[in-house]
Amino acid sequence: MTKQPLKIIIAPDPILKTAAAPINKIDDKLRKFLDDMLITMYASRGVGLAAPQVGVSQRVLVIDPVRSDDAPPQPMQLINPEITWRSEAPNVFEEGCLSLPDFYADIERPASVRVKYTDPQNTEHEILAEGFLATVLQHEIDHLNGILILDHISKLRRDTAIRKFKKLKKDLEDVL
């Protein structure tokens, strides 16, 4: 039997604007949740997913920045990730977000970051990420801090997008 993906929270929603709580205990329940997050991310054709996006305000995220059907998946599960260094050199990528369907924006972020995190086996890691991987990590860590890509764009464009998502949420609620 195939596991059903978790429900993705669509903006605006208060959980998406709230800083997530750190994880104090890594156990089988958390590992199962991380696996469910990966299932959800892949089913949604995303490259990253943070726990607040599925309604859980905890500092965990999953990513798989490999974007080719020819390459094997390279999933990562990060617990309590923290950016410890950012390069001064900027990079711009067109970003989308599973919590903001069909919305894309060019976002400028540091081109490289160093990220410290714990994996599901309770082993600490530190990685230096560059390019697309750096962008994905920063985007997902933003979610853990209550920040959306909408917070990186102009107020006019943000207000227009929020109106669109409020209407989308209402339309979805009316269907259900």
The residues that are catalytic are 140
- Report the distance separating Cα 146 and Cα 105, nearest Å: 18
Secondary structure, 3-state, 48-81? EEEHHHHCCCECEEEECCCCCCCCCCCCEEEEEE
Best CA proximity match to 125, nearest among 136, 111, 133, 115: 115
Other beta carbons less than 10 A from residue 1's beta carbon: 3
CB distance 96 to 103 below 8 Å:
yes
Spatial contact of 146 and 11, defined as CB atoms under 8 Å apart:
no
The residue type found at 65 is P
